[in-house]
Chain A
Amino acid sequence: MKNKFKISLLFFITVIFFIIFYYSLKANNKNNPNTMLNKKLPPIELTSLINTNLKQTLPIISEDKFYLINIWSSWCVPCRDEHQILMLLKDKIKIYGINYKDQKSNAVSFLNELGNPFYFIGTDKDGSTAIEMGAYGVPETYIVNSEGLIVFKHVGPLNKKIYLKISEIIK
C-alpha cells in the first residue's frame, strides 16, 4: 500500500514536470521587441539637426492619417541599406528622422550622398529619446497614426517586403 502511494506520487511528479517542460519548450522566451506596438507614442521633443532653434514635438497633431518615424545614424551600416526604401516612401508618407548618437557633419554628408527622405530630422545625442520610444538601437521604424498610436514597428533595416507591408498599412 505504501509502495503504491510512493510510486503514484513519483508518477504524478514526473507527469507534472513533463507537462511544464513541454510547454516551456513551446513558450516564446525570446524577447519581444514589439512591446510598444498599439501603444501611444510618449511625448517627445526633438531639436532639429540642421537648425537647433527649430523644435518639433511628437506625437504630431496634423491632418495626415499616418506618419513615419525612423531612427538612423550615419555610422550604422544597415541604415545605409534601408535608405533607398525610405527614399521610395518619402512621397507616400511624412518621415520624421531621429538622428541617433551621430555627428552633424557625418549625418549631413550621409544625406548629401544618398538623398534626404526626411520631412524633419531631430537629434538624439545621448540615446535617451530612443529609450523613451522603447527602441533598442538603429535602425528602427515606427508608423504612428493621427491619434498618436503606434500601429507598426520594425526593428532593423527596412526591406522590400516591409516596404510592401507599410504601403498596405498607409494606403
Chain B
Amino acid sequence: MKSIFLILIFIFLPIQSAMSFTEREINIYKNLRCLVCQGQSLNDSNSDFAIDLKKVIKKKIINKQTDQEIYKYLTERYGDWILLDPPLKKTTIVLWIFPLLFIFFGGFFVYKSVRIYSNN
C-alpha cells in the first residue's frame, strides 16, 4: 500500500511543481495593486503598466528570485501601496488587530447570550 502511494507521488510530483510556477506567478500578481488603474489587482488588469510589470516579475521568477525579493524590489520603487496584502507595521496594526478583537468580543457576546438563554 505504501509503495503504491510513493509511486503515485513520484508520478504526480513533476506535474505539481510545473503547475506551481504559474500558480506562484498568479499568486504574486493577485497580491499587487495595478498602480495606474486603482482598485484592480495586477492580475485583473490589462493596462500597459500592468503588462510591463508582469513581464518584469516573470523574468524575476525565471531568474529564481523568491517572492520576498520580488515584493522588496517593488516596494522599494513603488512603496507599500503596491501591496494589496499590507505588511504588519506600526501604521497598519489596527487593521490587523481589529478582526481579532471582533472575534473575541463577538464570541464573548454569543457565549453570554447562549448562557442567558439556556438559564431561562
Contact = CB atoms under 8 A, between A and B. Distances in A.
Q: Secondary structure at chain A's binding surface: helix, strand, loop or mixed?
A: loop
Given A32-B81, A35-B79, A136 B52 contact: no
A20 interface: yes
B52 A127 contact: yes
Given A32-B79, A131-B77, A137 B49 contact: yes
A14 interface: no
A136 B36 contact: yes
A166 interface: no
A134 B77 contact: yes
A36 interface: yes
Contacts of A31: 35, 38, 79, 81
B114 interface: no
A136 B49 contact: yes
Interface in A100-116: 101
Q: Secondary structure at chain B's binding surface: helix, strand, loop or mixed?
A: helix
B94 interface: yes
Contacts of A127: 48-49, 52, 55
Nearest to A133: B77
A26 to B, nearest CB: 13
Contacts of A35: 75-79
A128 interface: yes
B13 interface: no
Nearest to A128: B56
A115 B94 CA distance: 54
Interface of B: 35-36, 38, 48-49, 52-53, 55-56, 59, 75-79, 81, 94
22 contacts: A31-B38, A31-B81, A32-B79, A35-B77, A101-B48, A126-B55, A127-B49, A128-B52, A128-B55, A128-B56, A128-B59, A131-B52, A131-B53, A131-B56, A132-B77, A133-B77, A134-B77, A136-B35, A136-B49, A137-B36, A137-B48, A137-B49
